[in-house]
C-alpha cells in the first residue's frame, strides 16, 4: 500500500477504535471523577460484596453447567452413533435461539409455588402450604444458573464439537494402540486437545452471564449487573453506579484475557495437516439409551418444552394481538438488519485493515471491541448516552448561539445512538467471524490477484467477498439475532414510541403477562432458529469437506 491511502486507512481504523472505546471510557471517567463518596462505603459495607459473590458464584455454576453439558453432548454426537444422534447433532444448538429471559419466565411460570408443578404436588400429597414441603426456589441463584446453563451451553457445544471434529483420528488411534480405553483416550487426549476451545466457549457463556440483566432481575439475583441497574438507573446514584460498572469492567477484562489466551492456545493445538476424522462408534443397548438421554435432555429442557409452552401460551391468549404487533416485528427486523449491515461493514473493514498490513491499529480496535461484547447492555447504554449527549450539547449549543438554529438532539435518543450501541456490543462477533474467514484465505491469493492487475479494492470484491460469503452470512445472522434479543441497551436508548420484540417481551413478562408476551417471544425464537440451524449446518459441512489446496 502506498503511503497516503495507508494513512487514511490507519486513521479510519483508529476512529473505529475510538468510537468503540468511547462508551467504556466515559463510564470509567464518570466512575473515577465521582470519587469514593459515603455511598460507596455503604455499598461495600452492605450489598457490594453480595453483588461480587453472586456474580462469581453464578459464573462458576454456569461454567460448570455449560462445560459438562456442552462437552459431553459434543463428544457423544461427534464420536458415537446412536438412535437420534444425527438429529441431535443439530438440535443441540437450538437453545441458542431462545433469549435467556424468555426461558426464565417460562420456568418461573412452571416451577413457582403457584405454578402447575407445585400445585400438582400439593394436590397429590395433600400438602396445604409452603411450610408443608420443600421445593427448590426457581427465582434464585441456582435457578438462574440452571436457566443460563440451558441457554448458553450451545457455545461450548459448538466449539467443542468443532474441536473434536478437527482432531486427527490418527492421534486417537495411536492413543488406543498404546493401550488407552476410549474413556481414557478421551481424558488423556481428546479433552486436553479440545480444552482451549472449551475454555473459549465457557468464556463466551460467562460473558453472557455477567452481562445478563433479564434473568437476574426477573429472579431477583443481586449480581453486579443487576445492582448496577438498580443503583444507577433506579436509584439514580450515578457515582456509585459508575463505580459498580468499573468493577464489572475489571471482571470483564479478566474474562477477555482468559478467552484470548485460550484462543491463542487453540490455534497452537490446531493440526496443520488434515487427516481423516474419526470413524464414529456405534452404540447399542443401554449405552445407546444413556447417550440418547444425555443429549436429549438439554434439547428438551432448553428448547422443546419452552417452545411448546410458548406456543401454548400464544394460542391460549385470547386477547387481541396488539394492533402494533406487525409494526413491532417490522421495526425489530429493520433495526436488526441495519445493525447487522453496519457491524458487517465495520467488522470487515477492521479485518481487512489487518490483512493490508495495518495490524497494529486494527488489533487495537479489535481488542477494544471484544470488551464491548462483554459489556452489560446497561453500562453500554449509559456509556453511549454520556458522550453523545455531550456532543449534542456542544454542537447544538454552538449552532444555537452562533446562528440561532435549534437542532434538538443530533445523536442521542435516535436510532443512530441505538445502532452505535449495537455496533460497540456486537462488532467483535462480526469481526471475529470475518477475521477467521479471511485467515482461511491464503495470502498468496491476494498477491496472485494483485500481480494479475487488480488493486486492493478489486481484490476484496473479486476474491475475498465471494470466498467470505459463508462467513458474511454467519456473522450477519449472529449479529441480527443478538440485536433482536438485546434488551437493556434498547430499553434505555430507544427513541419515542419505539417498541421492539425484545422490549415488549420483557416488559410484558416482567409484569407476568405471559400470555401476551408469548407471541413476540415466539417470533424472536423463530428468528433465532435460522442462525442456530445454520451454524450447526456449517459445522457439519466443515466436517466433510476441506478447503482445496
Give residues 304-343 in contact with another protein (rule: CB under 8 A): 330-331, 334-339, 341-342
Nearest distance in Å: CB 378, another protein:
7
Q: Does 300 bind another protein (CB under 8 A)?
A: no
Angle between helix 305-316 and 100-111 (nearest 10): 80
Angle at 183 between CA 177 and CA 186, to 5 degrees: 80
Q: Which of residues 530-549 bind another protein (CB under 8 A)?
A: 547-549
Q: What is the rounded CA–CA span in Å between residue 76 and residue 303?
A: 19
Give 170 or 512: the residue with its C-beta nearer to another protein. 512
Nearest distance in Å: CB 459, another protein:
8
Nearest distance in Å: CB 394, another protein:
10
Q: Which of 419, 475, 509, 521 binds another protein (CB under 8 A)?
A: 419
Nearest distance in Å: CB 413, another protein:
6
Among 516, 490, 526, CA closest to 325? 516
Q: Does 492 bind another protein (CB under 8 A)?
A: yes
Give 404 or 408: the residue with its C-beta nearer to another protein. 408
Give 86 or 324: the residue with its C-beta nearer to another protein. 324
Among 157, 191, 156, CA closest to 171? 191
| E strand or H helix that includes residue 281 | strand 281-282
Q: How many residues interact with another protein (rule CB under 8 A)?
A: 104
Q: Which of 35, 131, 403, 544 binds another protein (CB under 8 A)?
A: 131
Of 267-275, 406-414, 425-433, 525-533: span binding another protein (CB under 8 A): 406-414
Q: Which of residues 188-227 bind another protein (CB under 8 A)?
A: 219-220, 222
| E strand or H helix that includes residue 81 | strand 80-81
Give 27 or 206: the residue with its C-beta nearer to another protein. 27
Q: Which of 371, 477, 494, 522 binds another protein (CB under 8 A)?
A: 494
Q: Which of residues 437-476 bind another protein (CB under 8 A)?
A: 442, 444-445, 447-455, 457-458, 460-463, 465-467
Q: Which of residues 231-270 bind another protein (CB under 8 A)?
A: 232-236, 238
Nearest distance in Å: CB 328, another protein:
11
Among 191, 213, 189, 198, CA closest to 258? 198
532 within 8 A of 151, measured Cβ to Cβ: no
Give 174 or 321: the residue with its C-beta nearer to another protein. 321
Nearest distance in Å: CB 122, another protein:
8
Residue 128 burial (CB count, 10 A): 9
Instruction: Give the x/- contact pattern for another protein in 505-534, rule: CB under 8 A.
Output: --x--xxx--x-------------------
Collect all residues with Cβ–Cβ distance below 8 Å to 522 and sequence separation of at least 6. 307, 310, 311, 314
Give 47 or 68: the residue with its C-beta nearer to another protein. 47
Give 94 or 502: the residue with its C-beta nearer to another protein. 502
Give 415 or 538: the residue with its C-beta nearer to another protein. 415
| E strand or H helix that includes residue 80 | strand 80-81
Question: How far are the Cα atoms of 54, 124, 147, 168, 245 from residue 138, in angstroms, in the given order?
Answer: 16, 21, 9, 43, 27
468 within 8 A of 437, measured Cβ to Cβ: yes
Q: What is the rounded CA–CA span in Å between residue 478 and residue 535?
A: 9
Q: What is the rounded CA–CA span in Å between residue 418 and residue 230?
A: 21
| Beta bridge partner(s), residue 318 | none
Q: Which of residues 26-85 bind another protein (CB under 8 A)?
A: 42-43, 45-47, 50
| Beta bridge partner(s), residue 282 | 81
Nearest distance in Å: CB 146, another protein:
16
| E strand or H helix that includes residue 282 | strand 281-282
Which cell numbers hold the place of 279? 470413524
Q: Does 486 bind another protein (CB under 8 A)?
A: no
Q: Does 436 bind another protein (CB under 8 A)?
A: no
Nearest distance in Å: CB 339, another protein:
8
Tell me the three state secondary structure of residue 357: coil
266 within 8 A of 203, measured Cβ to Cβ: no
| Beta bridge partner(s), residue 80 | 281
| Beta bridge partner(s), residue 275 | none
Of 76-84, 106-114, 261-269, 283-291: span binding another protein (CB under 8 A): 106-114
Of 134-142, 144-152, 264-272, 288-296: span binding another protein (CB under 8 A): 134-142
Q: What is the rounded CA–CA span in Å between residue 244 and residue 78?
A: 42
Give 266 or 355: the residue with its C-beta nearer to another protein. 355
Q: Which of 281, 345, 436, 526 binds another protein (CB under 8 A)?
A: 345
Q: What is the rounded CA–CA span in Å between residue 206 and residue 56?
A: 10
Instruction: Give the x/- contact pattern for another protein in 145-184, rule: CB under 8 A.
Output: ----------------------------------------
Nearest distance in Å: CB 495, another protein:
6
Amino acid at each position: 500500500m502506498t503511503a497516503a491511502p495507508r494513512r487514511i486507512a490507519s486513521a479510519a481504523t483508529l476512529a473505529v477504535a475510538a468510537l468503540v472505546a468511547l462508551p467504556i471510557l466515559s463510564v470509567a471517567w464518570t466512575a473515577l471523577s465521582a470519587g469514593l463518596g459515603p455511598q460507596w462505603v455503604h455499598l461495600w459495607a452492605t450489598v457490594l460484596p453480595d453483588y461480587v459473590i453472586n456474580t462469581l458464584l453464578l459464573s462458576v455454576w454456569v461454567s460448570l453447567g455449560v462445560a459438562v453439558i456442552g462437552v459431553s453432548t459434543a463428544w457423544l454426537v461427534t464420536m458415537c452413533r446412536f438412535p437420534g444422534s444425527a438429529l441431535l447433532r443439530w438440535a443441540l444448538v437450538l437453545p441458542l435461539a431462545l433469549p435467556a429471559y424468555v426461558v426464565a419466565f417460562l420456568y418461573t411460570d412452571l416451577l413457582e409455588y403457584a405454578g402447575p408443578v407445585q400445585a400438582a404436588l400439593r394436590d397429590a400429597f395433600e400438602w396445604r402450604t409452603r411450610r408443608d414441603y420443600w421445593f427448590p426456589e426457581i427465582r434464585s441463584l441456582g435457578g438462574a444458573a440452571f436457566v443460563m446453563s440451558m441457554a448458553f451451553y450451545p457455545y461450548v457445544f459448538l466449539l467443542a464439537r468443532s474441536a473434536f471434529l478437527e482432531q486427527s483420528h490418527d492421534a486417537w488411534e495411536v492413543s488406543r494402540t498404546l493401550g488407552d480405553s476410549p474413556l481414557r483416550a478421551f481424558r488423556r487426549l481428546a479433552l486436553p486437545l479440545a480444552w482451549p476451545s472449551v475454555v473459549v466457549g465457557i468464556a463466551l457463556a460467562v460473558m453472557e452471564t455477567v452481562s445478563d440483566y433479564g434473568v437476574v432481575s426477573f429472579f431477583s439475583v443481586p449480581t453486579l449487573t443487576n445492582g448496577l441497574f438498580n443503583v444507577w438507573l433506579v436509584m439514580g446514584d450515578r457515582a456509585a453506579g459508575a463505580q459498580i460498572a468499573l468493577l464489572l469492567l475489571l471482571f470483564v477484562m479478566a474474562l477477555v484475557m482468559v478467552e484470548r489466551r485460550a484462543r491463542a492456545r487453540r490455534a497452537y493445538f490446531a493440526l496443520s495437516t488434515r487427516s481423516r476424522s474419526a470413524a464414529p462408534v456405534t452404540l447399542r443397548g443401554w449405552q445407546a439409551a444413556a447417550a440418547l438421554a444425555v443429549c436429549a435432555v438439554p434439547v428438551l429442557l432448553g428448547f422443546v418444552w419452552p417452545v411448546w409452552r410458548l406456543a401454548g401460551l400464544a394460542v391460549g391468549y385470547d386477547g387481541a394481538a396488539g394492533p402494533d404487533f406487525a409494526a413491532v416485528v417490522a421495526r425489530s427486523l429493520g433495526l436488526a438488519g441495519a445493525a447487522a449491515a453496519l457491524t458487517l461493514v465495520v467488522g470487515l473493514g477492521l479485518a481487512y485493515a489487518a490483512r493490508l498490513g495495518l495490524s497494529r491499529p486494527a488489533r487495537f480496535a479489535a481488542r477494544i471491541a471484544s470488551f464491548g461484547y462483554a459489556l452489560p447492555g446497561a453500562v453500554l447504554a449509559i456509556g453511549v448516552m454520556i458522550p453523545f449527549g455531550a456532543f449534542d450539547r456542544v454542537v447544538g449549543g454552538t449552532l444555537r448561539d452562533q446562528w440561532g438554529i435549534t437542532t434538538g438532539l443530533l445523536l442521542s435518543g435516535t436510532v443512530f445512538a441505538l445502532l452505535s450501541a449495537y455496533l460497540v456490543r456486537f462488532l467483535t462477533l462480526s469481526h471475529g467471524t470475518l477475521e477467521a474467514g479471511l485467515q482461511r484465505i491464503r495470502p498468496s491469493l491476494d498477491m496472485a490477484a494483485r500481480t494479475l492487475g487488480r488493486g486492493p479494492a478489486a481484490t476484496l470484491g473479486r476474491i475475498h467477498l465471494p470466498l467470505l460469503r459463508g462467513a458474511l452470512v454467519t456473522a450477519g445472522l449472529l449479529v441480527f439475532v443478538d440485536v433482536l434479543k438485546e434488551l437493556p441497551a434498547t430499553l434505555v436508548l430507544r427513541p419515542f414510541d419505539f417498541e421492539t420484540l425484545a422490549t415488549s417481551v420483557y416488559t410484558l413478562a416482567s409484569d407476568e403477562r405471559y400470555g401476551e408476551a408469548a407471541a413476540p417471544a415466539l417470533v424472536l425464537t423463530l428468528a433465532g432458529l435460522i442462525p442456530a440451524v445454520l451454524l450447526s449446518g456449517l459445522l457439519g459441512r466443515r466436517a466433510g469437506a476441506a478447503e482445496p489446496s
